[in-house]
């Protein structure tokens, strides 16, 4: 994260004696990325963050099998057809993945257990519902349209605030950050960036939970483990630094528009290892008098394009069966573009006075092929590949 934040009580100088009201020392913990060479935060615990009493292996909930997109085809998956239930961690239904990223869908109704993903950062896009992310950094409420970015190793849990929470979860094998080109040399958002520090929300006060032995589900490259801590890990009285979970709402993304069609990099929101996340938001239509206001056919030879349609209407996909909740996967090896008739329809709509593109979608472009997960295969509309000849 690019900016410094202080929450709760901390000592004036780091690594100095900081005492509890009973005279004992608070336990200082550094959470830091890339060894000691990147962003970090210092947390002050009431109890030792090292005190564990048990370690047990855990079988992964549900199937995590991935299979190649073979025979190669553009695909349409309907998350609308996936079951509801479970929580936002164990209830993830795997859609697609590769060595860099895994993307799942959840329609959660229950609180998750405490969870620590030590393989990489997570970005959870809340499609609908209200939820609270509780972590050692404090609580962070989130709702429809929020991206919630959780740094590697953060102990947290998801608590739905009444009703179902639908979300797309992105698990990276590394860090998820704002694109470098949006930031100054020292990390401040630049004026041309489509969002800035004021648009980001983070925990504002400590979250203390008194409790004895507490299990935490830990994901590492080796698999899943349940570590039991002697004391509840939510015992942090204060922290400071540049590493913490934060939320950013897609409605705060300020679209960048051109007279003629602008390509997806203008929609980029985050970057991860070998993938990007983009936000397609409502915006003025391309305004050149001769503009074609839908995308041209394109073949991004190095990318698979995974697009989650979360709102609005999709002129370019009319007649394809794609609706709110749908996901299209346009893989490398296949040229994709608007459905037949969409180009003329978009030009006619402008003549009739249409001035805005009313679309809302979250796109993940990966630079290595995406394999298909069990949830995608279970919710596939197998006719989509032939929709350009209908
Ligand atoms: Fe595309």
Band (pLDDT 50/70/90 cuts) for residue 320 is confident
Q: How far apart are CA 377 and CA 306, in angstroms?
A: 14
CB atoms under 10 Å from CB of 285, counted, come to 18
Distance in Å, CA 23 to ligand 1 centroid: 60
Distance in Å, CA 71 to ligand 1 centroid: 20
Q: How far apart are CA 178 and CA 337, in angstroms?
A: 28
Band (pLDDT 50/70/90 cuts) for residue 62 is confident
Q: Which residue has the tokens 């401040």?
A: 188
Distance in Å, CA 242 to ligand 1 centroid: 34
Residue pair 142/210 in contact (Cβ under 8 Å)? The answer is: no
- Pairing label, strands 115-117, 214-220: parallel
Distance in Å, CA 331 to ligand 1 centroid: 9
Residues sharing a CB contact under 8 Å with residue 302, sequence separation 6 or more, in sequence order: 332, 367
Distance in Å, CA 168 to ligand 1 centroid: 19
C-alpha separations of 305 from 94, 121, 222, 375, 385 in Å: 17, 20, 29, 18, 14
Residues 205-246: pLDDT tens digits? 999 999 999 999 999 988 999 999 999 999 999 999 999 999
348-372 burial, b at 16+ Cβ within 10 Å, e below that, comes to eebeeeeeebebbbbbbbbeebbbb
Whether the per-residue pLDDT at 21 is higher than 80: the answer is: yes
Sheet (strand 115-117) strand order: 52-58, 223-229, 214-220, 115-117, 156-160, 130-135, 138-143
Domain coordinates of the chain in residue numbers? 5-66+81-248, 250-389
Residues 256-273: pLDDT tens digits? 999 999 999 999 999 999
Distance in Å, CA 128 to ligand 1 centroid: 25
Distance in Å, CA 297 to ligand 1 centroid: 8
| Average pLDDT for 299-313 | 94
Distance in Å, CA 137 to ligand 1 centroid: 37
Q: Which residue has the tokens 């995590």?
A: 64
3-class SS of residue 360: strand
Distance in Å, CA 177 to ligand 1 centroid: 22
Kindly report whether the global pTM for this prediction surpasses the value 0.95: yes
Q: How far apart are CA 43 and CA 245, in angstroms?
A: 14
Distance in Å, CA 298 to ligand 1 centroid: 6
Q: How far apart are CA 359 and CA 86, in angstroms?
A: 30
| Average pLDDT for 100-106 | 98
Distance in Å, CA 89 to ligand 1 centroid: 30
Distance in Å, CA 305 to ligand 1 centroid: 6
Q: Which of 95, 115, 90, 120 is nearest to 105 (CA)?
A: 95
Residues sharing a CB contact under 8 Å with residue 246, sequence separation 6 or more, in sequence order: 1, 140, 148, 149, 200, 201, 202
Distance in Å, CA 301 to ligand 1 centroid: 11
Residues 140-199: pLDDT tens digits? 999 999 999 999 999 999 999 999 999 999 999 999 999 999 999 999 999 999 999 999
CA angle 32, 36, 37 (to 5 degrees): 105
Distance in Å, CA 329 to ligand 1 centroid: 9
For residue 108, what are its two tokens? 């959660």
Distance in Å, CA 354 to ligand 1 centroid: 22
Q: What pLDDT was estimated at residue 141?
A: 98
Distance in Å, CA 213 to ligand 1 centroid: 49
Distance in Å, CA 106 to ligand 1 centroid: 25
Whether the per-residue pLDDT at 315 is higher than 90: the answer is: no
Distance in Å, CA 326 to ligand 1 centroid: 15
Asked, colleague to colleague, whether 5-66+81-248 and 250-389 share their fold, the answer is yes
Q: Which of 246, 72, 104 is nearest to 171 (CA)?
A: 104
Question: For the chain, what is the mean pLDDT?
Answer: 96
Q: Which residue has the tokens 């002129």?
A: 315
Question: For residue 389, what is the DSSP state?
Answer: G
| Average pLDDT for 323-327 | 96
Q: How far apart are CA 241 and CA 8, in angstroms?
A: 12
Residue 123's Cβ-side half-sphere holds a number of Cα atoms within 13 Å equal to 29
CATH architecture of 5-66+81-248: Sandwich (2.60)
- CATH annotation of 250-389: 2.60.120.10
Residues 326-358: pLDDT tens digits? 999 999 999 999 999 999 999 999 999 999 999
Distance in Å, CA 144 to ligand 1 centroid: 24
Q: What pLDDT was estimated at residue 63?
A: 80
| Average pLDDT for 56-62 | 89
155-174 burial, b at 16+ Cβ within 10 Å, e below that, comes to bbbbbbeeeebbbbbbbbbb
Distance in Å, CA 304 to ligand 1 centroid: 9
């Amino acid at each position: 994260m690019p900016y410094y934040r202080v929450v709760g009580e901390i000592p004036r100088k780091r690594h100095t004696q900081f005492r509890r009201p009973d005279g004992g020392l608070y336990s200082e913990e550094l959470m830091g990325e890339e060894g000691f060479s990147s962003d970090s935060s210092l947390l002050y615990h009431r109890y030792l963050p090292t005190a564990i009493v048990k370690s047990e292996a855990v079988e992964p909930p549900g199937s995590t099998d991935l299979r190649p997109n073979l025979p190669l085809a553009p695909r349409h998956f309907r998350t609308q057809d996936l079951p509801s239930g479970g929580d936002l961690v164990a209830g993830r239904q795997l859609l697609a993945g590769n060595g860099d990223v895994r993307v799942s869908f959840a329609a959660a109704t229950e609180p998750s257990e405490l969870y620590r993903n030590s393989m990489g950062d997570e970005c959870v896009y809340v499609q609908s519902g209200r939820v609270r992310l509780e972590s050692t950094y404090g609580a962070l409420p989130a709702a429809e349209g929020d991206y919630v970015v959780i740094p590697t190793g953060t102990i947290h849990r998801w608590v739905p605030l009444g009703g179902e929470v639908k979300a797309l979860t992105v698990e990276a094998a590394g860090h998820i950050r704002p694109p470098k080109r949006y930031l100054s040399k020292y990390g401040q958002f630049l004026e041309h960036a489509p969002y800035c520090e004021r648009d980001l929300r983070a925990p504002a006060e400590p979250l203390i939970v008194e409790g004895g032995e507490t299990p935490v589900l830990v994901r590492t490259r080796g698999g899943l483990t349940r570590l039991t801590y002697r004391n509840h890990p939510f015992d942090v009285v204060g922290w400071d630094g540049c590493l913490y979970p934060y939320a950013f709402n897609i409605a705060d993304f300020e679209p960048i528009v051109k007279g003629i069609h602008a390509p997806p990099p203008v929609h980029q929101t985050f970057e991860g290892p070998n993938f990007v996340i983009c936000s397609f938001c409502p915006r003025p239509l391309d305004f050149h008098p001769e503009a074609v206001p839908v995308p041209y056919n394109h073949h991004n030879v190095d990318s698979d394009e995974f697009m989650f349609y979360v709102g609005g209407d999709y002129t370019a996909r009319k007649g394809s069966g794609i609706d709110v909740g749908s996901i299209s996967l346009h893989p490398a090896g296949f040229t994709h573009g608007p459905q037949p008739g969409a180009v003329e329809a978009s030009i006619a709509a402008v003549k009739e006075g249409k001035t805005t593109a009313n679309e809302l979608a979250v796109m993940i472009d990966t630079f290595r092929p995406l394999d298909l997960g069990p949830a995608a295969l279970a919710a596939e509309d197998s006719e989509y590949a032939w929709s350009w000849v209908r």
